[in-house]
Amino acid sequence: MKAIATDSPAAGEPGRGSPRLKVLVVSLYHPELIRGGAQQVAYELYQGLAATDGVDATLLASADQRWPSLFKSGARITGFDQRPGEYLFLSREYDHWWHRSGNVELVERFCQFLAETRPDVVHFHHFLTLGIDLLSATRRVLPEAKIVFTFHEFLSICNANGQMVRTFDRSLCTTASAVRCHQCFPNHSPESFFMRENWLKAHLGKVDRFTVPSAFMIDFYARWGIPREKIEHVTNGQQLPAPDAEPSVQPSGPRKRFGFFGQLVDNKGVQVIFQAVTHLRMSGVTDFVVEINGDNLAYATPEFRAAFEAFRAAEEALPAAERNIVFNGAYSHDELPRRMRRVDWCIVPSLWWEIFGLVISEAWNFGKPVIASDVGGMAERIGHDRDGLLFAVGDARALAETMRRAVTEEGLWAKLEAGIRKPATREEMTNAMLRVYRGVGAAEEPATQSTGTLGG
Amino acid sequence: MTADDEALLILEEVERARPRDQKVRLSIDLVGAAGRNLVIGGWIDDRGSTIDSVTVEARGSKAVLSGGQLRRTQRTDVESELRAPAGSRLGLVAFTGDLAFAMPPNEVVRVVIALADGRAASAVARVRSASPVEVRLEALAGLLACSVTEARRRLGSVELVSSARDFAALEALTAEQPAAVPAFADDGLVVMDWQAPRATSVALNVDAVAVSPDGGIFVVGWIDDREAKLTGIRLVAPAWHVSFAAPKLARVRRRDVEQALGVTAATRFGFWGLHFSAKGLAVSAQAGCTIEFVFADGSLQSLKLPHLRQVEQAELRNVVLGQIVADEHVGSVQVEASNLLDGGIGDGIVALNRAVVNRATAGPHVIRFGHRTDFRMSVVVCLYGRAEFLMLQAAAYSATKMGGVEFVYVSNSPELAETLVKEARIATLLYDVPITLVILSGNAGFGAANNVAVDYCRSRVVCIMNPDVFPRSAGWAEALLDGASSGAGGTFFGTPLHYDDGSLMHGGMYFETDTGISFSGNVISERRLLRVEHYDKGTPAEAAKQMVTRPVPAVTGALMVVRRPWYERLAGFSPDFVFGHYEDADLCLRSFAEGEPVFLRNVPFWHLEGRGSTRLPVHEGGSLVNRWLFTRKWLEYAGEHGLLGAEPRNPAFAARKAAAA
């Protein structure tokens, strides 16, 4: 393992003595410009590092043409809103097949930025919009630096937005291969996928240490060819708002209010809830409510959009007393506590692996047990009948049965609520990452989540 | 000659010391050349003496013109300038069709005129490149003291002038005024007299005539000559005419004509022809041309085509190649195509292609990236149509041990130039790979492009590699260098190449023959053609015989390692093959014929065959031509030397049998 190079021989002990550890966090997007889980976590880490004694943290977050005015003429990297330590990487000429920028000046500027800041650790969160080949650039410019890479999903392995859901039947995929990927993308030959894999691996080979937010991912990446011993599980941590002291609207009694929080796109599985509600009604269970929070319907497939709109129209055509589903629309981060307060349960019915599920952390932060699909990050984090309930992924009848149990089984909610552990904090994640930087290993962190892995 | 030309050509006037210190005034107005044809125009004030010789010095070569190659002419303008008496004949024209060397175009040359009294004077001028006909017309214009247009008119037949090698021949041409209708030029084609127009017309049409001003005429159409047998056609344009005897025309099936004429049997109503000569053709697209069809009964039918399609040479070649692919035959496509190529079209395509290649490879744009200059091996990669392989290879190879290896990328796609420069710059930033970019101005084809690239290699070992070849082992470079330094089979060798699925794509090549059937001229005939086969394609890559170093009849151009002196002794790939295909086998056979059979050495690579470039229908046409050419060159030789089959009889391959056993 490569040692961290710092200014003095006594380096590598962050927070102790004078040698300071310089960490550059390179992030897909700045979360204040474009929201998303990966950038949120990267920013939490940056803030955590910045608050740590003995660590000098710098953030380089990408921006794209959604904010064209930020692209100052002739600039490739700029500051961000007068914040010390935060920089924007102005992504351009990005090739979504090879995942790299064809802009020479942008790559040149990145190299200069590294040479100027000379970090001891360069921690990439994702390569999208940045370019996978920046890993090789980093190794070339800073031969002694430690390069850490956090996988936030499976984009290296899977061209289907890194979700490992097969494009033709939406079944869950566990293994990529040139022919299997060609089946998902018939316009790309098996050879293209062979080249894609080799290209990505040529650059990922420059990384010293990988981290994944959920342990089940280790199997996927090891199977794909990343040496297992180079991958560590470091759970995502967040600084979440303290649950307010205000009592819930419904402090006691039956727990009949379910909530969905997330994007209204195919893989998030809201349609499974709709089908489950239909089953419940047909079996005479009608005393419950499901609140749908979220938007981004525009990013869903046309089929999903049409089905969603049809269901909503039918639901809203019912007399108010017969409606079971409430559509609350989009919400901002600040609104989350109020929306959470309105529900007893949080449903995460994702139809893909759901790498981590920040929404699970949010639900737990507010003391809401989670009902979720029994795969991936959801299955890893949620203990069935301990702090939540799992149902077979995509199975609306199983979800209906689980919801029936949730509203009828006495004492269940209280038992599960009592089983909830607080999700990892920003500080805990930061400390775990610092141990990765120092080569000690994150696993000593007592706050990391259970690491029961799920085979593929 | 225009005023601009004159201004350009009078570059310098030089005086030389001479006895009695008397200066000789002269001016060289024109130096025009086409290969070994040269014309010089100007004047010299040699009053009191005479010209002994005119010497042209170009790039270390020297040509001396004297006697019958020189003519003095009257130049009234000079007489008045020098206040010389009328009739002084101070003008000078020098002409030869037999230069000892080919005059380089656009070169600056020195013209030295030596006088009989020992004086000499010289001037410097730039050579204007022209066609042989233009050179002669300029000489004639100088001789007759008239304009080129007038000289052309006085000459009657422009085609005839090509054969004139000196002034005497030129003068003879102008002395006997040609008949109103000139005899046809005989470019080895056909000479015919004028015939009477046909009484009954034959159904026929000319679909198109495409002409390249640099030389090359393509004609395509159809004719119902079932009853009146066609003996030839000729194309008559204002400045030239070309004849095609019937055997030189391709005859192909035309279903549309069959349908229109109500003919149910497959019939070769279609025809097309290609005439290529390096002579320039004055082409005016507006002028059009007349196409005359001459029949066996002596009758003639003509058709006026108002417009000629004017095309670049490369486009003309592609049109012809596309035609070969589009042709519909009655028998085997390759055999019928070979038969029609035999008739002269094949040689025409090869010559036309050579002209295209020469143009594409002239003056490549070369950019070096990186600072090192001494290398142990040069990997030469020819890119066509896709640029991203540069970055893919740079990323893949930089992850291996490759000290002392440089990459020379040669591009056959001018439109990729800018992208490639960017890619090379990024690669230089990201990886420690020394890259040289050689950008050609057109598609020179695989072989010629590699030949150019090898000129820019800075090592003694050349590794020709396809863009879609990737390393399978980190120590590939050392392994190839070890091979190149070994005694047996180190001069020229290939390696096993594997598909992305892990099976064998290439483990050496051998030659088979196919026999196809032709129905040419209602006669059924057989024709043998050479075919190149890969050993054991698709078998497990670990098959034992691939692991043994052994001689093979040929290896693929996708990866071949050649010691540079040997590559240069073989003069590299033959530029006769169009685009790609068969030039690799041709190089291997030439190496064999020169005494070095090629070997296969076990240094495995990935090869994503065919993914490294784009393939178009004209490439299929090129393959048909190449296979015809390859067969013509090697069928007999391969048979005689026991090179046919997967187990060739030639003793050079005894080792292969031993290894297999």
ipTM of the complex: 0.82
Nearest CA in chain B to A95: B388
Does residue A279 share a domain with residue A231? Answer: no
Nearest CA in chain A to B432: A140
Q: What is the pLDDT of chain B when averaged over all its residues? A: 84
Chain B residues with at least one Cβ partner in A under 8 Å: 388, 391-392, 395-396, 398-399, 419, 422-423, 425-426, 429-432, 468, 470, 500-501, 606, 608, 611
Structural domain range at position A180: 21-238+425-444
Q: Which of A142-151, B229-238, B421-430 has the lowest mean pLDDT?
A: B229-238
Q: How far is A113 from chain B (nearest CA, A)?
A: 13
Nearest to A133 by CA among B390, B471, B421, B384: B390
Nearest CA in chain A to B426: A104
CB contact under 8 A, A140 and B399: no
Residue A452 in any domain: the answer is: no
Distance CA A417, CA A289 (A): 19
Q: Give the model confidence (pLDDT) of B434-489 as tens digits.
A: 999 999 999 999 999 999 999 999 999 999 999 999 999 999 999 999 999 988 88
Substitution target in A103, A194, A203, A204 with the highest count of B β-carbons within 10 Å is A194
pLDDT of residue B427: 95
Distance CA B542, CA B545 (A): 8
DSSP line for A37-104: HHHHHHHHHHHHHHTSTTEEEEEEEEE-TTSGGGS-TT-SEEE-TT-TTEEEEE--SEETTTTEE--H
pLDDT of residue B179: 35
Q: How far is B468 from chain A (nearest CA, A)?
A: 9
Substitution target in B429, B473, B505, B606 with the highest count of A β-carbons within 10 Å is B429
Residue A11 in any domain: the answer is: no
Query: What is the average pLDDT across B405-421?
Result: 96
Residue A334: exposure state from Cβ atoms within 10 A (0-12, 13-18, ≥19): exposed
Question: Class for domain B196-358, per CATH?
Answer: mainly beta
- B611 neighbourhood in chain A, CB within 8 Å: 189, 191-192, 195
pLDDT greater than 80 at residue B423: yes
- A102 neighbourhood in chain B, CB within 8 Å: 419, 422-423, 426
Distance CA A214, CA A350 (A): 16
Q: Give the model confidence (pLDDT) of B152-192 as tens digits.
A: 767 665 666 777 788 887 777 776 543 333 333 333 333 33
Q: Give the model confidence (pLDDT) of B511-559 as tens digits.
A: 999 998 887 666 788 889 999 999 988 888 777 566 788 999 999 999 9
Residue A112 in any domain: the answer is: yes
Does residue A64 share a domain with residue A110? Answer: yes
Question: Is CATH 3.90.550.10 the classification given to domain B365-660?
Answer: yes
Does residue A69 share a domain with residue A164? Answer: yes
- B398 neighbourhood in chain A, CB within 8 Å: 136, 202
CB contact under 8 A, B419 and A102: yes
Residue A9 in any domain: the answer is: no
Q: Which of A226-230, B250-254, B624-628 has the lowest mean pLDDT?
A: B250-254
CB contact under 8 A, A100 and B470: no
Residue A10 in any domain: the answer is: no
pLDDT of residue B581: 87
Question: What is the identity of the amino acid at B513?
Answer: T
pLDDT greater than 90 at residue B656: no
Are the CB atoms for B337 and B327 separated by under 8 Å? yes
pLDDT greater than 80 at residue B308: yes
- A179 neighbourhood in chain B, CB within 8 Å: 501
Q: Tell me the two tokens of residue A399.
A: 């979800």
Of residues B132 and B637, more confidently modeled: B637
Residue A367 in any domain: the answer is: yes
Nearest CA in chain B to A189: B611
Angle between helices A270-282 and A302-317 (to 10 degrees): 40
3-state secondary structure of A314: helix
CA distances from B600 to A38, A99, A258, B110, B499 (A): 50, 37, 69, 53, 17
pLDDT of residue B284: 67
Does residue A282 share a domain with residue A153? Answer: no
Chain A residues with at least one Cβ partner in B under 8 Å: 98, 100, 102, 104, 107-108, 111, 133, 136-137, 140, 178-179, 189-192, 194-195, 198-199, 202-203, 205
CB contact under 8 A, A205 and B399: yes
Q: How many CB pairs under 8 A join A and B?
A: 61
- Among the partner residues B388, B430, B470, nearest to A137 by beta-carbon distance: B430
Of residues B391 and B331, more confidently modeled: B391
- Among the partner residues B395, B419, B606, nearest to A199 by beta-carbon distance: B395
pLDDT of residue A439: 86
3-state secondary structure of B525: strand
Q: How far is A389 from chain B (nearest CA, A)?
A: 43
Q: How far is A424 from chain B (nearest CA, A)?
A: 37
Radius of gyration of chain B (CA): 30
Nearest to B439 by CA among B466, B457, B412: B412
DSSP B50: -
- A191 neighbourhood in chain B, CB within 8 Å: 468, 500, 608, 611
Q: How is chain B split into domains, by residue range?
A: 3-175, 196-358, 365-660
Nearest to B505 by CA among B548, B537, B543: B537
In this prediction, the residues of chain A whose per-residue pLDDT falls under 70 are: 1-18, 244-252, 440-456
Task: Give the confidence band of B198 by pLDDT, cuts at 50, 70, 90.
Answer: low
Are the CB atoms for B221 and B204 separated by under 8 Å? yes
- A205 neighbourhood in chain B, CB within 8 Å: 399
CB contact under 8 A, B422 and A102: yes
Are the CB atoms for A234 and A214 separated by under 8 Å? no
Nearest CA in chain B to A179: B501
Are the CB atoms for B185 and B168 separated by under 8 Å? no
Does residue A406 share a domain with residue A303? Answer: yes
Does residue A277 share a domain with residue A299? Answer: yes
pLDDT of residue A290: 97
Does residue A273 share a domain with residue A221? Answer: no
Does residue A433 share a domain with residue A390? Answer: no
SS3 content of chain A, % helix, strand, coil (to 5): 40, 15, 45
Angle between helices B132-144 and B148-155 (to 10 degrees): 100
CB contact under 8 A, A192 and B611: yes
- B467 neighbourhood in chain A, CB within 8 Å: none
CB within 8 Å of A338: residues ≥ 6 apart: none
Q: What percent of chain B has pLDDT over 90?
A: 41
Does residue A195 share a domain with residue A181? Answer: yes
Query: Hey, do B3-175 and B196-358 end up sharing a CATH topology, with the first three levels equal?
Result: yes
DSSP line for B362-420: SS-EEEEESS----SEEEEEEEBS--THHHHHHHHHHTS--TTEEEEEEES-GGGHHHH
Does residue A265 share a domain with residue A214? Answer: no
Query: What is the average pLDDT across B309-328?
Result: 89
pLDDT of residue B164: 79
Nearest CA in chain B to A104: B426
pLDDT of residue B463: 98
End-to-end CA distance of chain A: 28
3-state secondary structure of A422: coil
Residue A13 in any domain: the answer is: no
CB contact under 8 A, A191 and B396: no
Number of domains in chain A: 2
pLDDT of residue B77: 81
pLDDT of residue A249: 52
Q: Please state whether beta strands B469-471 and B509-518 pair in parallel, antiparallel, or not at all (unpaired).
A: unpaired
Query: What is the average pLDDT across B271-300?
Result: 80
Give the number of other Cβ atoms within 10 Å of residue A235's Cβ: 27
Q: Tell me the two tokens of residue B502.
A: 């892990």
Question: What burial letters (b/e) apply to A38-50, b meaning 16+ CB within 10 Å?
Answer: bbbbbbbbbbbbb
pLDDT of residue A258: 97
Does residue A433 share a domain with residue A359? Answer: no
Does residue A129 share a domain with residue A217? Answer: yes
Substitution target in B400, B402, B416, B426 with the highest count of A β-carbons within 10 Å is B426
Q: What percent of chain B has pLDDT over 70?
A: 86
Nearest CA in chain A to B390: A199
Q: In the CATH scheme, what is the homologous superfamily, with its name and number, of domain B3-175? A: Immunoglobulins (2.60.40.10)
Domain with A170 in it: what CATH number? Answer: 3.40.50.2000
Residue A395 in any domain: the answer is: yes
Nearest CA in chain A to B425: A104
